[in-house]
Chain A
Amino acid sequence: MSLFLELRHNGPQLDFSAEIPKGQITALVGPSGSGKTSIIRAIAGLLKLKHARISLAGEAWDTERAHLPTRERSIGLVPQHHGLFPHLSVMGNVETALSHLPSQQKRHRATECIRLAQVEGLEGRHPHELSGGQRQRVALARAIARNPQVLLLDEPFSAIDRGTRKHLYLELRRLHNQLGNTVLLVTHDLDEAAQLASHLLLIDHGQLLQAGETTKVLTRPRNEQAAQLLDIPNVFSASLEKTPAGLAELRWGPHRLQIAATDRTPAGRVKFAVLPQNILLVKTDKPWGSHLENPIPTQVQDVVALGGEVLVSLQVKGLNEVQLQMRLPERALRRYPITSGSEVTVCLRSSDIILLE
Chain B
Amino acid sequence: MDWTAVILSVKLALVTQLFLLPPAILCARWLALTSFRGKAWIEGLLALPLVLPPTVIGYYLLVAMGGNSFLGRWFEELLGQPLAFSFSGLVIASALVNIPFAVQPAQRAFEAISLEVHEAAKCCGLTFWQTFHRIELPLAWPGILSAMMMTFAHTLGEFGVVLMVGGNIPGETQTLAISIYDRVQSFDFSAAGTMSLLLLVISLVTIAVSYGMVERLMRRRRSP
Task: Give the interface of A toward B (CB within 8 A).
Answer: 41, 44-46, 69-71, 75-77, 79-87, 96-97, 99-100, 126-128, 130, 135, 139, 142-143, 145-146
Give bound CA distance, A145 to B123, whole Å. Answer: 11
Q: What sequence of 0s and 1s flags, for each residue 111-155 of chain B, a beta carbon within 8 Å of any chain A beta carbon?
A: 000101101111111110010001100110000000000000000
Contact B120 A77 (CB under 8 A): yes
Give bound CA distance, A83 to B139, whole Å. Answer: 13
Contact B221 A70 (CB under 8 A): no
Residue of B nearest to A76 (CB): B123
Most buried by B among A79, A80, A81, A86: A86
Interface residues on B, range: 20 to 34
Shortest distance between the CB of B114 and any CB in chain A (Å): 7
Shortest distance between the CB of A95 and any CB in chain B (Å): 9
Residue of A nearest to B123 (CB): A77
Most buried by B among A71, A80, A139: A71
Contact A97 B119 (CB under 8 A): no
Task: Give the interface of B toward A (CB within 8 A).
Answer: 114, 116-117, 119-127, 130, 134-135, 138-139, 220-224
Give bound CA distance, A119 to B1, whole Å. Answer: 61
Q: List 24 A-B contacts (CB under 8 A).
A: A46-B119, A46-B122, A46-B123, A71-B122, A71-B127, A77-B120, A81-B114, A82-B224, A83-B117, A85-B135, A85-B139, A86-B139, A86-B221, A86-B223, A87-B138, A87-B221, A96-B126, A96-B134, A99-B134, A128-B222, A128-B224, A135-B224, A142-B120, A146-B124
Residue of B nearest to A94 (CB): B124
Please name all residues of chain B whose beta carbon is closer than 8 Å to the beta carbon of A85 when the two chains form the complex. Answer: 117, 120-121, 135, 139
Residue of A nearest to B141 (CB): A87
Shortest distance between the CB of A292 and any CB in chain B (Å): 56
A-B Cβ contacts below 8 A, count: 83
Contact A79 B120 (CB under 8 A): yes
Shortest distance between the CB of A228 and any CB in chain B (Å): 31
Most buried by B among A96, A97, A127: A96
Give bound CA distance, A87 to B138, whole Å. Answer: 7
Contact B125 A80 (CB under 8 A): no
Contact A96 B224 (CB under 8 A): no
Shortest distance between the CB of A64 and any CB in chain B (Å): 23
Give bound CA distance, A142 to B208, whole Å. Answer: 38
Give the contacting residue for B224; candidates A44, A71, A130; CB below 8 A. A130
Give bound CA distance, A71 to B220, whole Å. Answer: 29
Please name all residues of chain A whose beta carbon is closer than 8 Å to the beta carbon of B224 when the two chains form the complex. Answer: 82, 84, 86, 127-128, 130, 135
Give bound CA distance, A4 to B166, whole Å. Answer: 66
Residue of B nearest to A71 (CB): B125
Most buried by A among B114, B134, B138, B224: B224
Contact A97 B139 (CB under 8 A): no
Contact A77 B222 (CB under 8 A): no
Sample of 12 further A-B pairs with CB below 8 A, known A84-B120, A96-B121: A46-B123, A69-B122, A71-B125, A79-B119, A82-B224, A86-B139, A87-B221, A126-B221, A128-B224, A135-B224, A142-B124, A146-B125
